[in-house]
Chain A
C-alpha cells in the first residue's frame, strides 16, 4: 500500500471519485491549472479537463452559490475555499441555502456538495490563516461537518463526503497536511511517510461519516478530540502518565454519541480538546451531551482545553495553541477531582 501525505490522500480521493463519476466537478481559487495553493488538486485539470476542474474568480459566495446551482442541476461539486478563515462571505449561501434546500423543497431539490477548507492553527498563520470555525457549521441543521486527522481517514472521509447526498463541510487541518503534529513545535516534525496512518489504498474505499475512532485505549479518562488535537491529546496522555482514552471524533455532525458515551461511562472522566475558541465552541455541545448521557457515571467535572476567547494571534502562537502541557494539566486536574 502506498504511503501518502494528507495532501496526496485528499487529491487521490478527488481523483478516484472524478474517475468513477463524471458528475463530480472540482473548482475554487487557484484550484485548476496551478493545482491549489496546498497542491491538493494538482494534476486534476490535466487529467479531467478544464470543465471538470477549474479556477474561479475570488468570490467565496460565488463559488458556493454556483456549486449549489450545479447541485440542483445534478452535479456533485467538490469545491475549495482557500482558507476556512475566508468562508464567511459564503456563509449566507451555506446556511440559508445549501443546508436548507432539501428541507424547504421537500426533497425536490438537493445539495450534494462538499466544501473543502484548510483549517486550524499551529503554523504562524495569524488571525486569518488559523481559525477553526467548525462551531459555526455544527449549529446549522442540514449540514454535515467532518474533520480528518490522518491521510487514510482524509481520503476515506472525503470519498464518503463526495458520495453523500447532503452538503458536507470538510475541514482539513493544514497543520497535518505533511505530517502529524503533537504540539511540540520545538521538535522536528515527522512526515507521513514515517507514519502508519500514511498507508492509503490507491483505489476506492470509504470511511463512514458519523463514526468516531478510538486512537488510544485507556481507562482513566476520555479525551474527545479531532484534527490536530488528536496527536496533542496522545502526547499529553503519555507525558502526564494518565491512561487516557483518546477518541478522534472525525465527524462532528452527525456525531458518534454511542462511542463517546460508552467510553465516558467506562472512564468516568472527560476532557474535551479543540483549537477553536472556548465560548460556544463545539466543546460546549460535547460537554453538554456527556453531562446529559453520562451524569451518573461522572466522577469529575468535564474539562475543556481550547483556544482562548481571542482572535488567533501571530507572535503568541504557542501561548494560544492548546498544546500537550495544557492538555496534560487538565488531565491531572480531572484525575484529582
Chain B
C-alpha cells in the first residue's frame, strides 16, 4: 500500500477557539429583501436555492424590504418587541434566581428571542407546538402567565407540574405547548403524529415541531421527515440553528451538507432558511409555512439561523470552548435591537419609549417573581406534597404503587 492512499479521519473543527479572534467570514449573508417569496403551493424542487440562502426582511438601515415584508402591523410589531424584551428580562431574573439558589437549573434564550416569539404569532388557537427547552417565547407570546412559569421553575406548591419536572420543562395544553422532555429530538416525530391525527380527523389545526441544530443528528429527526413527507402531514418542522450544541459547533451535526434546511430537500419537503434574528422574517416565513399546512399542502422545513449568546445552561461555561466575544461578532446582530431600530426608523417607537418599556417590563417580571415566591422556591417555603410524587403515573393508581405510597407514609 502506498503512503498517499492511507486513510485519515476527518473531524470538523470550528473556525476559532478560546483566545482566537471571532470569525464569521464564512457565513454568507444575502442582502435583506433579495430572496424570492414563492407561492405556498410551490413544487419543492423549484425552490431548492431557498434552502441555501437566508430570507431576511430588515436591512442595515432598519427598513423592512423585499417580498417577505409586511406581514405584521406596527401595533403587532410593538407587541412583538415587548414579548422579546419580556423573555429577555424573564431570563435574566431566572438566571439570577438560580445563582441565588432558588432553583437548581435554568436555560436562557439570549439572542434567540425572535424565533419563538415571532413564530407564535403565525399560529391559531388550537394549533400545537412540540417545543424544545429553548422556546419559552411561545408561552410568553402566547399569553401564558409568567407566574406559572416561575412556579414550575421553583417547583413550589403552586407548580402546575407538581414538582415532578426539572425547571423549564413546561407544559400547557391550553396554550398549545406540548410537555417538554429531557430526551432530545423525541418531540419532532410526535409533532408529525399530532399533525397526522389532525388530518385523519379532517380538522383544521396544525402542529409545529422544534429541534436544535445538534439534535438533528438524532434518529427522531430522520423519522419525522420521512413520516411528514410520506403522509403530507400539516406540520411546520423548525430547526433552530444557534451554531452550538453545548460545546459542539454545528459543523459536527451538519457534516458535509451545506445547511440544515437542505436536509428537507431529499425528503421532498420545501425547505426555507431564515434570519433567526429578524423578527419580521421569522414571522413571514412561519406564516407561509402555516398557510401551506392549513391548505393541506403538507409540511415545511425551516432553518432559523441564529446564535446562542448565553451559556448552554446554568451548568455551562462557554469560555471553555469558544471566544468570549464571539456573540458580539455574530453578523445577524441582536433581535431585540434590530426590531427596536426598525420601529424607531418607522417613527412608531423611540429610545425614550424603549427605556420606559424596559422599566415597565422589569416591574412586571419582578412582581410576578414576588408572587411566585410566596408559593415557595426549591429549598424554601411551600412545596408540592410527597403524595403528588405517586399520582399520575397511571390514570388509576395500581396496587403496587398504593403499597409504595403507604410505605412512604403518605
CB pair B226–A104 under 8 Å, yes or no, is no
| Cα distance A67–B220 in the bound complex, in angstroms | 13
A191 to B305, CA, bound (A): 62
A164 to chain B minimum Cβ distance, whole angstroms, is: 8
The residue among A92, A142, A255 with the most chain B CB atoms within 10 A of its own CB is A92
Q: Which of B192, B198, B220, B394 contacts A102 (CB 8 A)?
A: B394
Query: Does chain A have a CB within 8 A of B196?
Result: yes
B398 at interface by CB-CB < 8 Å: yes
Q: With A97-B190, A103-B164, A109-B171 given, is the CB distance from A70 to B395 under 8 Å?
A: no
- In the complex, the answer to whether A105 meets B179 with C-beta atoms within 8 Å is yes
In the complex, what distance in Å separates the CA atom of A97 from the CA atom of B130?
13
**Restricting to A150-175, which residues have a CB under 8 Å from any CB of B?**
164-166
Asked if B161 and A106 make an inter-chain contact with CB atoms under 8 angstroms apart, the answer reads yes
The contact sample of 22 A-B pairs, CB cut-off 8 A, is: A52-B200, A57-B227, A59-B223, A62-B226, A69-B195, A69-B196, A73-B193, A75-B200, A93-B186, A96-B186, A97-B183, A97-B190, A102-B392, A102-B393, A102-B395, A106-B161, A109-B178, A110-B395, A166-B395, A253-B398, A255-B400, A257-B400
C-beta contact mask, A61-76 vs B, less than 8 Å → 1, else 0?
A: 1100111111011110
Please name all residues of chain A whose beta carbon is closer than 8 Å to the beta carbon of B392 when the two chains form the complex: 102-103, 106-107
- Please indicate the chain A residues that have their CB under 8 angstroms from the CB of B327 in the complex: none
Q: Which 3 A-B pairs have the closest CB atoms?
A: A69-B193, A66-B193, A65-B189
A25 within 8 A of B: yes
Asked if A210 lies at the interface with its beta carbon under 8 angstroms from chain B, I say yes
Chain B residues lying within 8 Å of A107, measured Cβ to Cβ, are: 392
- B274 interfacial by beta-carbon distance below 8 Å: no
Residue from A75, A108, A254 in contact with B400 in the complex, judged by beta carbons closer than 8 Å: A254
Which of chain B's residues have a CB closer than 8 A to the CB of A164? 395
Contact A254 B399 (CB under 8 A): yes
Q: Which of B220, B395, B398 contacts A210 (CB 8 A)?
A: B398
B386 at the interface (CB under 8 A from A): no
Q: Determine whether the beta carbon of B162 is less than 8 Å from that of A106.
A: yes
Specify which chain A residues have a CB less than 8 angstroms from the CB of B147 in the assembled complex. Answer: none
Check A73–B227 contact: CB distance below 8 A: no
Count of B interface residues, CB-CB < 8 Å? 46
Given contacts A57-B227, A62-B189, A96-B183, contact A254 B195 (CB under 8 A): no
Does B219 touch A at the CB level, under 8 Å? yes
Q: Which of B178, B200, B226 makes the CB contact (< 8 A) with A25?
A: B200
Contact B196 A66 (CB under 8 A): yes
The 8 A CB mask of B293-325 against A (1 = contact, 0 = none) is 000000000000000000000000000000000
The answer to the question of A7 belonging to the interface, with a C-beta cut-off of 8 Å to chain B, is no
Which residues of A line the B interface, CB within 8 A? Answer: 23, 25, 51-52, 56-57, 59, 61-62, 65-70, 72-75, 89, 92-93, 96-97, 100-110, 141-142, 144, 164-166, 210, 253-255, 257
Q: A284 CA to B365 CA in the complex, in Å?
A: 53
Q: Mark out the residues of chain B between 367 and 410 whose CB falls within 8 Å of any chain A CB in the assembled complex.
A: 392-395, 398-400
Check A51 against B223 for contact (C-beta < 8 Å): no
Chain B residues contacting A104 (CB-CB under 8 Å) are 161, 164-165, 169, 171, 179, 181
Chain A residues closer than 8 Å to B226, beta-carbon distance: 57, 59, 62
Residues in B neighbouring A210, C-beta threshold 8 A: 398-399
Known A-B contacts A92-B183, A96-B186, A109-B173; the reply to A70 vs B197 at CB < 8 A is: yes
Bound form: Cα–Cα A141–B220 in Å = 23
In the complex, chain A residues whose CB is within 8 Å of the CB of B398:
210, 253-254
Give A97 to B169 CA distance when docked, in angstroms. Answer: 13
- Rounded to whole angstroms, the CA-CA distance of A100 and B160 in the bound complex is 16
CA distance A288 to B372 in the complex (A): 45
When A96-B181, A166-B395 are in contact, do A69 and B162 touch as well, CB less than 8 Å?
Answer: no
Minimum C-beta distance from A6 to chain B (A): 26
CB distance from A229 to the nearest CB of B (A): 22
List the A side residues contacting B181 at CB < 8 Å. Answer: 96-97, 100, 104
**B194 in contact with A70 (CB, 8 Å):** yes
CA A165 to CA B398, docked complex, whole Å? 13
Closest chain-A Cβ to B236's Cβ sits at a distance in Å of: 14
Q: How many Å from the CB of A240 to the closest CB on chain B? A: 32
Instruction: Check A67 against B193 for contact (C-beta < 8 Å).
Output: yes
Q: How far is the CB of B286 from chain A (nearest CB, A)?
A: 20
Q: A25-B200, A57-B227, A65-B220 are in contact. Are A105 and B171 (CB under 8 A)?
A: yes
A69 touches B194 (CB 8 A): yes
Cβ-closest chain B residue relative to A27: B196
Which residues of B lie under 8 Å from residue A89 when comparing CB positions?
219
| Bound-complex Cα distance A57 to B229 (A) | 11
Q: A141 to nearest B CB, angstroms? A: 5
Q: How far, in whole Å, are A209 and B120 apart by their CA atoms in the complex?
A: 42
Question: Once bound together, how far apart are the Cα atoms of A231 and B165, in whole Å?
Answer: 45
Q: Across the interface, name the chain A residue whose C-beta is closest to B179.
A: A105
Docked CA distance A144–B397 (Å): 12
Indicate if the CB atoms of B179 and A66 lie closer than 8 Å.
Answer: no
> Nearest residue in A to B229 (C-beta to C-beta)?
A57
Within 8 A of A (CB), among B183-238: 183, 186, 189-201, 207, 219-220, 222-224, 226-227, 230
Residues of B within 8 A of A257 (CB): 399-400
Q: Is B53 an interface residue (CB 8 A)?
A: no
Minimum CB–CB distance from B220 to chain A (whole Å) comes to 6
Q: With an 8 A cutoff between CB atoms, is B172 at the interface?
A: yes
A105 is contacted by which of B161, B193, B200 (Cβ under 8 Å)? B161
